Amino acid sequence: MNESKNKKLEKGFIYLVGAGPGDPGLITVKGKLALDNCDAVIYDNLVPSELIVALPAHIERHYVGKKSGRQCCSQNEINKLMIKLAEEHNSIVRLKGSDPLIFGRGGEEAKFLRQHDINFEIIPGVTAGVAVPAYCGIPCTDRQLASFVMFVTGHKAREKKASTVPWEWIGKAKGGTIVIYMGVGEIENIVGTLIKSGMSPDTPAAIIERGTFPTQKYVASKLSELPSAVKEKGIKPPSLFIIGEVVTLQPWLEWFKGKPLMGTRVMVTRAAAPAQKIYEYLREQGAEVLPYPTIEVEEYLDPKGWNAYDKIKSKNRWLIFTSETGVRFFMKQFLEQSGDIRRLGDYKIAAIGTSTAADLQKFGLMADFIPKKATSIALGKEMKEKVDLKKAEIVRVRGVLAADSIEKALTEAGANVIPLTVYNTYYPEWSGGLKEKLFEYPPDVIIFSSGSTVNGLYENLEKEEVKSLISNAEIYSIGPATSKILKEAGIKVSEEADPHNMTALIDQMVKNITENKNGRSQ
């Protein structure tokens, strides 16, 4: 084998990846693969937060976001960062909103990399000019109404004194669609020039703010009324303007509506990895997901616990699981050490609730005992009352921060309880523009899945910031233990799941929000 293949590259490989315009599901398969397998990522403000928070913990994250009127990093600083990371890592993703080559400076960055002998690959993304109108039911072209489409920028580059877009020429064009990016601040001048150049003031037009998000805002008007609509509706970037007869098709082709949580922003505080299914389910219900994990989990290897596990001899032996995370890391470590799931055949299994029992079923394991209430206290108490635990040896699968109420209850019943710690819980720090985004578009609902998620919120926010965040939000708690900690923190609980699992909690949320919407419409 060539020795050079075993050595770290002198310079890393950079992927210029388009993330799509907002909906995290719009990133391409190839782009997601590059992202999940990189060593570091450099990302912009318009990149969906979910794509970042769900990354493996070892991936370095560098925020270089730009917003209208403000810059976090200059292009020169971004270029220097790319060189630095290429010297330190093998694989780097430069993640940009929409498509990197459509008004995204991807071409400039690719040229810079070539000039510095850094290898790169461009992975196109779904551009906002196509996806955003589509999410409102507007096609860019139509056999009868539009035989061409123009993508133009309404934004003046800082180094330009005036726009170089030929608006006078565009104003004379007939039978097509004009899609304007970044035009909120210049729309009055643009519309005035188009009409002055011959475009009819009555030409159908539309504004779409935050397109592809469930909370997107759509406004239709005549071309001449666009500037006033921007002011009246308080339109802000990112927004897209569509001008042309295709706008008239919107009532026929509209599809992105009607789901129960449409227009509702839901903040999820659970750790990112186990929250993936929650994100997906909420999006299916029409919610805009705000992925803000206030806790994170990492694998923890407990040699002492596994050594005690290997010495179990009792015929009355149990495994107790109190979370999906415990199931996941226990099975990982068990299979790595044993490689034979049949070695679990001598154990009976207890699960804290139906959700954890369902996670066990993914490995072909059925829970023998599930308490009526999905709490640690109830599990210990009910097992103590209903199960013969004398001389039993019980492996309590847990995290570092888990309470010891189960261990105490079962020890009192005569069992030998072996704590086996398989994961650690820690409080992550929100970085890279996440906190700023949260207060710019605050949640309507906040979901807390454990007491730790409540404590983690205060690790990232000051008390006054929490007070502001929850002021107009409904608070959903997974169960009594979490509700108790919320109340101790002075946070009023709007709804508590029954039974105490995420499925029941989200179903109750859907029911409540649907009933509220129906009540308002009557």
**Residues classed as catalytic:** 44, 66, 182
Angle at 377 between CA 375 and CA 382, to 5 degrees: 95
CA distances from 482 to 273, 327, 422, 486 (A): 20, 21, 22, 6
Distance CA 294, CA 452 (A): 8
**Other CB atoms within 10 Å distance of the CB of residue 4:** 8
**Other CB atoms within 10 Å distance of the CB of residue 511:** 12
Beta strands in 187-304 (DSSP E): 204-209, 217-222, 239-243, 265-268, 288-291, 296-299
Residue 280 phi/psi, 5-degree rounding, is -65, -45
Distance CA 368, CA 379 (A): 12
Count of H-run helices and E-run strands, the chain = 20, 22
Query: How many Cα atoms occupy the beta-carbon half-sphere of 43 within 13 Å?
Result: 26
Angle at 203 between CA 201 and CA 205, to 5 degrees: 110
Sequence-separated (6 or more) residues with CB below 8 Å from residue 412: 384
**Which tokens belong to 151?**
């993508």
Distance CA 450, CA 454 (A): 7
CA distances from 470 to 291, 430, 435, 494 (A): 16, 18, 14, 11
Name the nearest CA neighbour of 365 among 335, 385, 345.
345
- Burial track 401-431 (b if 16+ CB lie within 10 A, e otherwise): bbeebbbebbbebebbbbbbbbbebbbbebe
Angle at 150 between CA 171 and CA 174, to 5 degrees: 40
Distance CA 388, CA 401 (A): 28
Beta strands in 352-504 (DSSP E): 393-399, 416-426, 445-448, 474-477, 495-496
**Other CB atoms within 10 Å distance of the CB of residue 435:** 15
Specify the DSSP class assigned to residue 445.
Answer: E
Name the nearest CA neighbour of 477 among 453, 459, 455, 458.
453
Distance CA 277, CA 291 (A): 12
